[in-house]
Structure formats: C-alpha cells, structure tokens
Amino acid sequence: MTAVDLLLVGFGKMGGAMLAGWQAAGTVRRVVIVDPVAATTSAPEGTVLVPDPAAIPADFSPTAVVLAVKPQMMDQALPAYAAYAGGAVFLSIAAGKTVAYFQKVLGAGAALVRAMPNTPAAVGRGISGAYATPAVSAGQRELCQRLLSAVGEVVWVEDEGLIDAVTAVSGSGPAYVFHLVEALAAAGTAVGLPPDLALRLARATVTGAGELLYRNPDTTATQLRINVTSPKGTTQAALDVLMDEGQGLAPLMIRAVAAANRRSRELAG
C-alpha cells in the first residue's frame, strides 16, 4: 500500500507518538495536524500544523482522519470534520466514544474504526484493540492496521462491546503494572531495604521480566514463572501467598478488571 494523505486531529502525547511511527514507517505522505498548539509550536518536519479546522488547506483531501483528541473535547471538535465522511476512514482513539456516538455526527454509513491503544504506544511498545464498522472496506481496515501498528501490536474484535474488555485489560493495564512496582517496592521496604533501593530493585525486576516475555513470544508466562521457581524455595514461598485461591492475586485481578470493564460500559452510556 502506498503512502497516504492523513488528517491528525489532536497532537498530544499519543498523537505525537503515532505520527513519529507513521513517518518512520513511510506510511504517510502528506499530513495535516489540527491542534491549538499550532499557535506556539513549530510543525514537525514534513507536516502542516494548523490551529483549527478552518485553516486546513483547501486542496487537502485526506484518506484517513485520526481523531486523537481527549474524549471530553470530541463534542466540540467532531462536527467540523463531517464533510470528510464521504471518502475518508475515521480512526478514533478516544476512550468511551462509541460507534453510535460518531454515527450521529458523521452519518450511519461512515467508515469508522474505534480503537483503544495504551500508553506504552509512546515508546512503540503498545497494543491496540480495534473494531471496524461494516462500512469500512478491506483496504481501509488494512490502512488502520498499518496506522496502529506504528506504535505496537494490533488485535481486532468483531463485537464492539469487547472494546470495554480490551480497555479493562490493556488500556488500563499499564497502571496495574505501575502499581505492582509500587507495591513490590513497599514490600521491600517492609523487610528492611532502604526505600530508594527497594524501588530500584522493583522497577528493574518488572521491566526485565517484561522484556523476557517480549523476547520469548513462544514461551508462556506460566512456563517463565515455572522457570524461576525452585521447589520449596523462596519464590515458591511467595507464590503460595500470591496464588492463594481465595485471597491471592488472580481473584483480586478478576475483580479489578471487572470493575474497569463495568466502568467503561458506564462511561460509554
């Protein structure tokens, strides 16, 4: 697929990370960015940065419109781009905004992909869950796959309702991992380590274990856990607590993800 003309609405951390990935991969040819920061920021090389939709060049006809504004700003931002719904595919990465929400503004026949990336996308190691409406062509779906792949892995769901579950697992998941670092560091302090050393050990342990997972895609997390665990050793003693059927990590995580899934549904209305 050749490089495409793209309209990027919103130039925050996620939008900036995606643009860097697209340019590195040669996915985009001409990019127009709409964001109020245009008043104080220079346009990234190879792009046009404008402060509002009225300043979009008249001859610009995007193949894709990427909606990367905050969900609470979408009501104000979206109507200005409805004119592109006849030919462009819209890719939304706004949490909680459903297909029905966009169709009210863009029309029932709009080609729309709803995606949920996560914050590791900022370092090219994210994962996005995506759902495409029936109006999205095979070519448009492939284009959105390429756009999302620029910042990590992509998985597709055929039921839009599963986006709430994706949000609960991977969208919110980085926060769970960061809290694990906090908890592990606090536990280290509780057994006598200086706080700064405990935090350094916890950070390196979690990031290192994640890298092992990443570099061994054919090895299950279960097997990697077993590899670390000597029978009747120190790791086993800790896992006996963490894997307790009633009060261990697994039932706690089930409750946590269920709460996030429930809240995602509530926010989506």
Q: Which residues contribute to the annotated binding site? A: 68-71
CA distance 160 to 155: 13
> If DSSP codes are grouped into helix, strand and coil, which group holds residue 106?
helix
Q: Residues at the annotated binding site for NADP(+)?
A: 68-71
Q: What is the largest CA-CA distance in the chain?
A: 71
CA distance 68 to 31: 14
Contact criterion met (CB below 8 Å) for 127 and 118: yes
User: DSSP strand E in the chain: where?
Assistant: 4-9, 28-34, 47-50, 64-67, 89-92, 112-116, 126-132, 152-156
